[in-house]
Amino acid sequence: MIRRKSPNPWRRWLGAGLGVLALATLIYNIPPVHERLAWRVDDLRTRIIYFFRPPEQAIFVPEENLAAISSATAAALTPQVTRTAQVTPTNQPTQIPLPPSVTLSGFTYTDQHGGWNLCGPANLTMALSYWGWEGTRADVVAYVKPGVNDPSLSTVDRGKPDKNVMPYELEDFVDTQASGLQAILRIGGELETVKRLLAAGFPVLVEKGYSERDASGKITWLGHYLFVTGYDEAGQYFIVQDAYLRTNPQGTGENLQSSFEEFQNQWRSFNYLFLVVYPEEQVDQVLAALGPWADDEWANQHALEIAQAETTTLSGLEQFFSWFNLGSSHVRLLQYVDAAFAYDYAFQLYANLPNDDTTRPFRMMWYQTGPYWAYYYSGRYQDVINLANTTFNTIGEPTLEESLYWRGLAYEALGEIDNALRDYREAVRLNPNFAPGWAQLQRLGVDA
């Protein structure tokens, strides 16, 4: 008698598992289900990547010897820039004493929840609403964070890879998309600068760093925008609108208090950068409130002087930020070799910080691109490539269009045209509104 072999139980389990997986995939891709679960899946993916490849251990070490570059070579590598004349107010009023407190109203509070990395658009929406702009956060997102052009993805998912909206992108939105409004962007701000703008009726948007729980569940350093709408001298605090936090009694980030000391310390990591939105017809008033900061060149030089002073008085993480700011200020002044020296030392300080994610600000290059400018225009192309690769290691995937763009420029400078084209194309795929990437493709006569 011939016995029939019983089916292999492992095959049954494998078949059942594949069936469950297929069903789960179908259910997951149902739009309402996907919108609810996508962020949880992304969170799990991030946790797995960070577990096996801790981002704080990604260290950039410059390869090239900057001292070997002659001043003549550095001068030849520095691009020629035509400066536009600075607009100055028709009247320069004498500075008057500030009121003891200011509270501005009339804006619409907007949070950043319901999507990924919407801090910039949310804060800009608040700033625009103060002046009667009738658009929404979605309008800002569509322009500054359009995301990949993939019809199979929801609007929210398309912009997910874009980790940050740069200040220049916010400024560009105001200048080109908000009729009747303009924006002015400066570095090297002081607490007094913010107070004078508020007293003159101009709320201020600043970029800062702070430690908060991230997608991996850890308390780490993050970049953040903050909309400032008032201050109180007696209480020594600013009144701020935080698009992320939900800590006030109403469960939102409206009308929170940020002490002057906390504000200063958190603002430092972005070189005291601020942006002011104003109606075109009030240009004289905003420039008068800015005082010397009305002159962009003066502001850049002032930021340099602040950074120089802080590199000698601060230590640890704050000293790293100061040296980084020193490099960024040199970049603004087109002093690229000096900037590269400063960044070299900043990255050395970074490597010497405690090897943990609570101290090392591994997201620094997600938000700022100054080192790329410095190394590229100092002829240090391999360092540009290595820095971009190190930055991508802190993310887990190459999803910063600015880093891709600069890596592409460096590849092209080294004659690696195919690699350059790959990076340019990926930059404009991730952000179809990224004009610098399109400019390079057009220059080379190729399509995306």
pLDDT for 23-33, tens place per residue? Answer: 755 665 565 55
- Percent above pLDDT 90 for the chain: 71
Q: What is the pLDDT of residue 137?
A: 97
Tokens of 214: 């991230």
Give the chain's domains with CATH numbers.
Answer: 48-85+92-399 (3.90.70.10)
The one-character DSSP state at 2 is P
Q: Which residue has the higher pLDDT, 112 or 42?
A: 112
Q: Is pLDDT of 21 > 90? A: no
CA distances from 15 to 19, 28, 206, 298 (A): 6, 20, 55, 70
Q: What is the pLDDT of residue 85?
A: 35
Helix (DSSP H) and strand (DSSP E) numbers for the chain: 19, 7
Q: Which residue has the tokens 């179908």?
A: 26
Q: What is the DSSP string of 10-57?
A: HHHHHHHHHHHHHHHHHHHTSHHHHHHHHHHHHHHHHHHHHHHS-GGG
Q: Is pLDDT of 380 > 50? A: yes
Residues 6+ apart with CB under 8 A from 233: 98, 100, 101
- Percent above pLDDT 70 for the chain: 81
Q: Is pLDDT of 87 > 50? A: no
Q: Is pLDDT of 45 > 90? A: no
pLDDT for 219-257, tens place per residue? Answer: 899 999 999 999 999 999 999 999 999 999 999 999 999
pLDDT for 400-414, tens place per residue? Answer: 999 999 999 999 999
pLDDT for 414-430, tens place per residue? Answer: 999 999 999 999 999 99
pLDDT for 130-156, tens place per residue? Answer: 999 999 999 999 999 999 887 777 776
Q: What is the pLDDT of residue 41?
A: 47
Mean pLDDT of 362-387: 98
For residues 434 and 424, what is the distance between their CA atoms, to the nearest angstrom?
A: 10
pLDDT for 165-199, tens place per residue? Answer: 999 999 999 999 999 999 999 999 999 999 999 99
pTM of the model: 0.85
Q: Which residue has the tokens 């190190």?
A: 390
Q: What is the pLDDT of residue 15?
A: 66
Residue pair 297/334 in contact (Cβ under 8 Å)? The answer is: no
Q: What is the pLDDT of residue 82?
A: 36
Q: Is pLDDT of 217 > 90? A: no
Q: What is the pLDDT of residue 27?
A: 65
Minimum mean pLDDT range among 196-205, 206-215, 374-383, 419-428: 206-215
Q: What is the DSSP string of 406-441?
A: HHHHHHHHTT-HHHHHHHHHHHHHH-TT-HHHHHHH
